[in-house]
Chain A
């Protein structure tokens, strides 16, 4: 409760807030309930009827999408794609952010403005040439192709966020370290990195979820290869091939949501902090 604004003309206020919460929750609840319903019921009655007895729930849908519909493989693929695609850009960006924040050189401002400009460049501007590059290298449809692409695409935001954070570190501390004879290596690994942990954590979560939830990049550079396709690609294919089998589609969607939701609930504050800091990215 907050004194900032006058205390509520209660009933309408609560009705509106709770109403919005319901609109936001009910579709997801319906998906969750449907994913546990037997196929014969899903197609003939609404999911809300399952909330009243007689209860009829099953795990069969999850077993089927994991096995027959490649969701198990896709889950691993999503991990194989997302983990390196998070680690590489964050480490690469940390060096650049250090240089931008604490080193003096000609063109620093201009170069950083270029990074800011790159934040909003539509990925579509890069797809054809990068696809040709990967074709020439023979890596289309492989994990490294997606790692490299995500690294390039994730860098502007990573450099931007880290540079802004590192720029706020206490100047006296870094200068006195330099006076004590600490070289740039020591300063970076002993001071900058440990002090930047909050920003690094936000960035890691942000980039991980971004890659985990990405459809376009995976679609372009992995295409339809089931051995490499992440869950977003697999689920979007299932939407076409399974059509009305809502019990399977909802189960597949929930498998793809499980990890991000866990991350969200466990690390919400870091995620929100990342969003607040990175508000300029499209």
Chain B
């Protein structure tokens, strides 16, 4: 079983190689004049990481930007034609519309449900258990979540027993309800896909917002109550402003995820019935159509959409460092 041998070799060999590397560079640095050694040392400790970042992220990103200006086989320069096509072809426009929908609905739902549950679970005795339940989907793959929910959305014609939970509950609770093919019906399918991602990610928002909520001193709220403020006013005027920085962090993470949404769409509908998103569209251009220019252009568009978040993260980091 050579695979096992290879994996073992890597698991033991890579750390050994790493230790060997550190010993080697320090032995080398010890022979150099002190000043040279001190100047060189950081770069040698950084070298393995910088090599990986350069080869797998920085160079490829620059190369992709260039490829987006070339044709399908990356042989001749076509200027901005791939971008022009990306913004005019029907299936692309649907993908853009859906990503926008994801951006608004997914971000809004995860952040507001996370906030709601953080405030509510803070008031019950079984807080830990409730939070663990909501957080659990974070541990499993989107592929598994997709199977779970595809089964929930399962549709059977009216009059036959519904084996999908959603249609079964609705037909039982609401006489005369016509079962819906949630993933096929274009009025419901995008919402259904987004709901799956929300189910997975609310736990993330909940955990972070809840940790931040615990940091708010209870006396602050007590003082408000003594002054006769209602819970709603306290939430609006005290909790929300204090939680605002955390909400921003959580929301930006959700925005990034909404832009890159792929797994759920790929597994549940593969973008059929008007549910395509940019990331899945790119996968199709890459492996089905084999148009490298258009695939690269879609990647660049995704990247450009994340730039504001990137800038915000860097700015926040500088502010934090300035406070240190």
Contacts and interface: CB of A to CB of B under 8 A. Distances in A.
Interface of A: 1-8, 13-14, 16-17, 20-21, 23-28, 30-31, 34, 42-48, 80, 83-84, 87-89, 91-93, 95-96, 98-100, 103-105, 108-109, 111, 113, 115-130, 133, 143-144, 147-149, 151-153, 155-156, 159, 183-185, 188-189, 209, 212-216, 219-220, 231-232, 235-236, 239, 246, 249-250, 252-254, 256-257, 260-261, 263-264, 268, 271-272, 275-276, 279-282
Interface of B is mostly: helix
Given A95-B22, A250-B147, A268-B132, A5 B119 contact: yes
Interface string B282-314: 110010000010011011101100100110011
Contacts of B67: 128-129
B143 A256 contact: yes
B61 A3 contact: no
A2 to B, nearest CB: 6
B39 interface: yes
Interface of A is mostly: helix
Interface of B: 3-4, 6-7, 10-11, 14-15, 18-19, 22-23, 26, 30, 39, 41-43, 45-46, 48-50, 52-53, 55-61, 63-64, 67, 113, 117, 119-125, 127, 130, 132-144, 146-152, 154, 161-165, 168, 199, 204, 207-208, 211, 213-214, 216, 218, 221-222, 225, 231, 234, 249-250, 252-253, 255-257, 259-260, 262-263, 266-268, 279, 282-283, 286, 292, 295-296, 298-300, 302-303, 306, 309-310, 313-314, 317-318, 321
6 contacts: A1-B123, A20-B134, A183-B30, A250-B147, A252-B147, A275-B208
Contact of B144 (A92, A99, A127, A257): A257
Contacts of A20: 113, 117, 130, 134
Nearest to B299: A124
B315 to A, nearest CB: 10
Contacts of B11: 83-84, 87
B26 A6 contact: no
A46 B164 CA distance: 7
B211 A125 contact: no
B122 A212 contact: no
B267 A236 contact: yes
